[in-house]
A = this chain, B = another copy of it.
Amino acid sequence: MKPLGPIPAGYGSIDGELALGGKAASALVEEAGGTPLFVYSADLMRRRMAVLRQAMPQSLRIHYAIKANSYRPVLELMAGLVDGFDIASGGELEMVLAAGQDPAKVSFAGPGKRDDELRAAIENGVTLNLESENEAHRALRIAEELGKAPALAIRVNPDFELRGSGMKMGGGAKPFGLDAERVSALAREIIAAGATWRGLHIYTGSQALDAGAVAETQANVLELAARLTREIGHPLPHLNMGGGFGIPYFSGDQPLDIAAVGAALGERFDQLPGELAGTEFAIELGRYLVGEAGVYLTRVVDRKVSHGTTFLVTDGGLHHQLAASGNFGTVVRRNYPVAIASKFTGEPVEEVNVVGCLCTPLDRLADQAMVPHADIGDTVAVFCAGAYGASASPSAFLGQGPAREMLV
């Protein structure tokens, strides 16, 4: 037997079935027209934001990194909840504009911005988080062609990392941002060139569950921002402190202690160095805001036994759940939280492997999982599906196509 990850808070049951937004899984599937289906809960997203606002210093702005989940209704919901959107491509810019987001509240980071993406951002007044001197020069040239002052910030590659983060994005040689020692020269150059100086973006890592590590990194970020501001010699209007708040995916993972993070940040804000006295602070979160608010529902198409092992074969799979299958940035595959949605309150009585419908051994949703007895027609739920599920999986693989999505 292998353990399953912890089921996030907020999921209930109706008549023994998994329920979300006051509806049973079977009703949600019927409403959507079938499986595989991502269901996102507006209520859980709202609650997550409320808890976060409560925990964080009041002045802290909270941005949503839409790469986690760019489903249009989710963007529309988040637009009313957060203080800004962070995007990573021209395609994402189109999405946030289509969702009615004010472009002045949007910032664009990403190491390989093409000229057409820079142009669209500048035309719309989106803040560019510059990743290199070259990108700065291209942005200034395009802005001049457009006769518009570009809103420019600089992304910093800090010399420290977020300890314990699932994905490190700072510390050492990185394709992201400018090494800290080159930031002030470029900042002075773009300010002199007439750009609207929007400040700094310091992103250190993602998916951290240790409040101490997050707090330590935030302290380092503030210190670095103060030092760079001193070097630049201009007030810092805005500091994007990055994100990194993780969610529990695997057995043994403990939720991030958000109150501790907020308290530590509050203390820092009370003793800000003079350089940052007038600065607006933001964090950018993707996974943390929406990940636990989504569930992936997939129907059991076959139940079979091979050499004593029971397989539940579903109509979903890694084409919608690449990370859950263990094939995205993971070395050792571990089970996400998975359950039999149609028998959610049932006792676990047998060990099964839950697999997808793809004709490849990579397509696994749960290994050696103890679950209630499930048969053809039952529905499997994969939790933590609100982030990097639909958006980060190869949906066209084997001619399958995307899953249904709904926000309830």
7 more A-B residue pairs beyond the given contacts A87-B399, A114-B315, A169-B361, with a C-beta to C-beta distance below 8 A: A70-B399, A172-B307, A175-B306, A178-B306, A179-B307, A393-B394, A394-B395
- The docked-state distance in angstroms from the alpha carbon of A114 to that of B317 is 13
The copy count of this chain in the complex is 2
A394/B112 in contact, CB under 8 A: no
- Across the interface, which residues of B come within 8 angstroms of A307, CB to CB? 172-173, 179
- The docked-state distance in angstroms from the alpha carbon of A393 to that of B396 is 8
Interface residues of A in 101-147 (CB under 8 A from B): 109-114, 131-135
- The docked-state distance in angstroms from the alpha carbon of A402 to that of B395 is 11
Interface residues of A in 66-98 (CB under 8 A from B): 66-67, 70, 87-95
A311 touching B175 in the complex, CB below 8 Å, given contacts A89-B398, A110-B398, A322-B394: yes
- Across the interface, which residues of B come within 8 angstroms of A175, CB to CB? 304, 306, 311, 313, 353, 355, 361
User: What's the least CB distance linking A137 to chain B, in Å?
Assistant: 11
User: What's the least CB distance linking A361 to chain B, in Å?
Assistant: 6
Q: Which residue of chain B lies nearest to A397 when distances are taken between CB atoms in the complex?
A: B392
- Across the interface, which residues of B come within 8 angstroms of A397, CB to CB? 67, 391-392
User: What's the least CB distance linking A218 to chain B, in Å?
Assistant: 20
B355/A134 in contact, CB under 8 A: no
A399 touching B92 in the complex, CB below 8 Å, given contacts A112-B314, A114-B315: yes
* From A113, A301, A395, residue with most partner B Cβ within 10 Å: A301
- The docked-state distance in angstroms from the alpha carbon of A70 to that of B396 is 10
Our pick among B114, B306, B331, B399 for the contact of A90 (Cβ within 8 Å) is: B399
- The docked-state distance in angstroms from the alpha carbon of A92 to that of B401 is 10
A217 within 8 A of B: no
* From A87, A169, A176, residue with most partner B Cβ within 10 Å: A176
- Give per-residue flags for A277-309: 1 if the beta carbon is below 8 A from chain B beta carbons, else 0: 000000000000000000000000111101111
A359/B394 in contact, CB under 8 A: no
B111/A313 in contact, CB under 8 A: yes
A398/B309 in contact, CB under 8 A: no
- The docked-state distance in angstroms from the alpha carbon of A376 to that of B313 is 47
User: What's the least CB distance linking A325 to chain B, in Å?
Assistant: 10
- Across the interface, which residues of B come within 8 angstroms of A157, CB to CB? 306
- The docked-state distance in angstroms from the alpha carbon of A327 to that of B328 is 5
Q: Which residue of chain B lies nearest to A157 when distances are taken between CB atoms in the complex?
A: B306
Our pick among B168, B176, B357, B395 for the contact of A359 (Cβ within 8 Å) is: B176
Q: Which residue of chain B lies nearest to A354 when distances are taken between CB atoms in the complex?
A: B175
- The docked-state distance in angstroms from the alpha carbon of A88 to that of B319 is 13
A184 within 8 A of B: no
- The docked-state distance in angstroms from the alpha carbon of A134 to that of B153 is 60
Our pick among B67, B112, B353 for the contact of A302 (Cβ within 8 Å) is: B112
User: What's the least CB distance linking A368 to chain B, in Å?
Assistant: 11
- Across the interface, which residues of B come within 8 angstroms of A258, CB to CB? none
